[in-house]
Structure 1
Amino acid sequence: MISRRAFLVTAGGMAVTMAGTVGYTFEVEPEWLEVTTAALPIRRLPSSLVGKRLAQLSDIHIGPNVADRYVRRTFDTVRALQPDIVVVSGDLISLHPTQQKHAEAIYAELPRGSLGTFVTFGNHDYGRNWAQPSVAAGLRGALENLGITVLVNEVGVAGGLQLVGLGDLWAGQFRPEEAFARVDPAIAQLAVSHNPDTVDLPGWGNYDGWILAGHTHGGQCKPPFLPPPILPVQNRRYTSGAFELSRGRHMYISRGVGTFLPVRFNVRPEVTVFSLQSAD
């Protein structure tokens, strides 16, 4: 039979461990940024872009639950890497009363790519219940005033690479036919779609390249060696990292920079820096 002293020592140890885990989950990991690197092979990539760096940021969620100092520190980290192209794959803001002024102040400091800086929108960029297009319109105006290119079912070009920015699924803005109608099939292409579930929907036509996504936060909290219990997607295979898809397509899902709820466990925030490579 366990002694009272042994019981108290064990209980005390468990309490300390639990307190440490809670502190880590709320105070440490949400701002413990990881810079991951990967090759990104693209068909018909101009030789002038081989070896260039593309930085993907996602789910920054500026607002009351993500500290401005952490976001600015993240921007400084990316800026020091001197990216040639910067892509933000949605959820730039979280709903709060001063969101537009806040966005203007923070995204004025967004690191810029030497060849271009591009943004697509996620569900949170459309306000309450993802049903306030005026919120997205205000955010778009603020970003464009800062010289940042916003792509919602539109195409931008950086040094001979077409970036196809898809609209957000949950906000009812996903219209791939409209976006790909603007694409020149003879020129290299890279797609950006906030919600990974969009890759299983029709409308992609003959697109056979990479898709950069976000939205999942990697599940945000994950038991060791097990999949995350909560994911905001229909296809629960889509957690984070690289995925091989049908029709020659591939997808990379970023774990994101920020959080909507300020907790992370075993799913560190990330910025991904891709080295562009020819897939021909």
Structure 2
Amino acid sequence: MKLNRRDFLKTGALAALGLGIYTWQVEPYWLEFVHKRMPVAQLPPALEGKTLLQISDIHVGNRFDPRYLIRSFQEAQALDPDFVVYTGDYVSYEDEEQFAQLAAVLQHTVHGRLGTVGILGNHDYGKNWAEPAVATQITQLLQDAGITVLRNEQTTAAGLTFIGMDDYYGTNFFPEQVMPQHDPDQPSVLLCHNPDVCDLDVWHGYRGWILAGHTHGGQCKPPFLNPPVLPLANERYAAGEIDLYDGRTLYVNRALGCLWPLRFNVRPEITVFKLTSA
């Protein structure tokens, strides 16, 4: 049956409305658990097959439904992970109200049986990423919830070393405080919120996995094309596993939350890594 112009325009309007509802109300809350292998050099035999779960960019605030975040945490808890890492941007900061909102969500914190660590992101530094007092308050809330926050520091849990860089855009980005300390003979995983840091001369020979966030995968991506908007200098680092061709492997998580609840072809993500010997 041939469509007349009115029917064609009506069909197009309905399709556009449906796509808008999907982008606004469906995909931002359609969580995907992405399962990946993580080969780690010098991994202790006792950690073979253990799970490491990455949660990034939850963005607690006034623009996003915290009930979705709590449900997502509860689903992640059911996986009973061995390690959990958080890679920054816990809030979309506007004012001190976000401290109470974050504390409520953190009542449902996902913990690892062997270790739970995190780093800060740019939004955890308040307005214009320039309020260290905001970062200090968020760090305290995270630590109160049982998350070891690494701010240019490293820690070891059950034989696995976690190295944490503070945020690239924040006021405390000093990787030189931690990177010279890393031991290449120890099994390590590095946390770095902004993947652009991979292109800086700050690594001191580090070889291994780098877990990042920040990009949200672009949030909206045309099929088979690159995201049109990315908060990055190096757009190669949009999302997923990226070989840096020097012994480093970058993984960019697509984010659990959003600044604004809009997603298309970029579902929110929690990553579940299975540790294996490299």
**TM-score normalised to structure 1 length:** 0.96
1:42 counterpart residue number: 40
Q: Is residue 167–residue 173 contact of structure 2 (8 Å, CA) maintained in 1? A: yes
Structure 1: 4+ residue segments shifted above 4 A: none
- Are 1:80 and 2:78 matched, yes or no? yes
1:22 counterpart residue number: 20
For structure 2, which runs of at least 5 residues remain unmatched after alignment? Answer: none
Give 1:120's aligned amino acid.
Answer: I
**Offset from partner CA, 1:37-69 (integer Å, 9 cap, x none):** 000011111111110000001010011122111
Looking at structure 2, the residues matched to 248 and 174 of structure 1 have their Cα atoms a distance apart, in angstroms, of 23
Q: Is residue 154–residue 182 contact of structure 1 (8 Å, CA) maintained in 2? A: no
1:185 counterpart residue number: 184
Looking at structure 1, the residues matched to 216 and 166 of structure 2 have their Cα atoms a distance apart, in angstroms, of 19
Q: Give how far 1:103 is off.
A: 1.4
Looking at structure 1, the residues matched to 37 and 171 of structure 2 have their Cα atoms a distance apart, in angstroms, of 32
106-115 or 226-235: which moved more? 106-115
**Offset from partner CA, 1:124-163 (integer Å, 9 cap, x none):** 0000000001001001111112221001111121210100
1:197 counterpart residue number: 196
Give 1:92's aligned amino acid.
Answer: Y
2:241 counterpart residue number: 242
SS of the aligned residue for 1:181 comes to helix
Give 2:205's aligned amino acid.
Answer: N
Q: Is residue 163–residue 191 contact of structure 2 (8 Å, CA) maintained in 1? A: yes
Q: Is residue 57–residue 257 contact of structure 2 (8 Å, CA) maintained in 1? A: yes
- Are 1:102 and 2:101 matched, yes or no? yes
* Matched residue count: 276
150-159 or 268-277: which moved more? 150-159
**Offset from partner CA, 1:145-191 (integer Å, 9 cap, x none):** 22210011111212101000111111143322211233333321110
1:225 counterpart residue number: 224
Which of 69, 72, 79 aligns to 1:71? It is 69
Q: Give how far 1:105 is off.
A: 1.5
Looking at structure 1, the residues matched to 90 and 269 of structure 2 have their Cα atoms a distance apart, in angstroms, of 15
**TM-score normalised to structure 2 length:** 0.96
**Offset from partner CA, 1:66-98 (integer Å, 9 cap, x none):** 211100110011101110000010101111331
Give the alignment of 1:77-226 within 5 angstroms: 77-97=75-95, 98-226=97-225
For structure 1, which runs of at least 5 residues remain unmatched after alignment? Answer: none
Looking at structure 1, the residues matched to 129 and 238 of structure 2 have their Cα atoms a distance apart, in angstroms, of 22
Looking at structure 2, the residues matched to 135 and 111 of structure 1 have their Cα atoms a distance apart, in angstroms, of 23
Q: Is residue 122–residue 167 contact of structure 2 (8 Å, CA) maintained in 1? A: yes
Looking at structure 2, the residues matched to 75 and 185 of structure 1 have their Cα atoms a distance apart, in angstroms, of 33
Looking at structure 2, the residues matched to 41 and 245 of structure 1 have their Cα atoms a distance apart, in angstroms, of 15
Looking at structure 1, the residues matched to 50 and 63 of structure 2 have their Cα atoms a distance apart, in angstroms, of 34
**Offset from partner CA, 1:13-33 (integer Å, 9 cap, x none):** 001000001101110000000
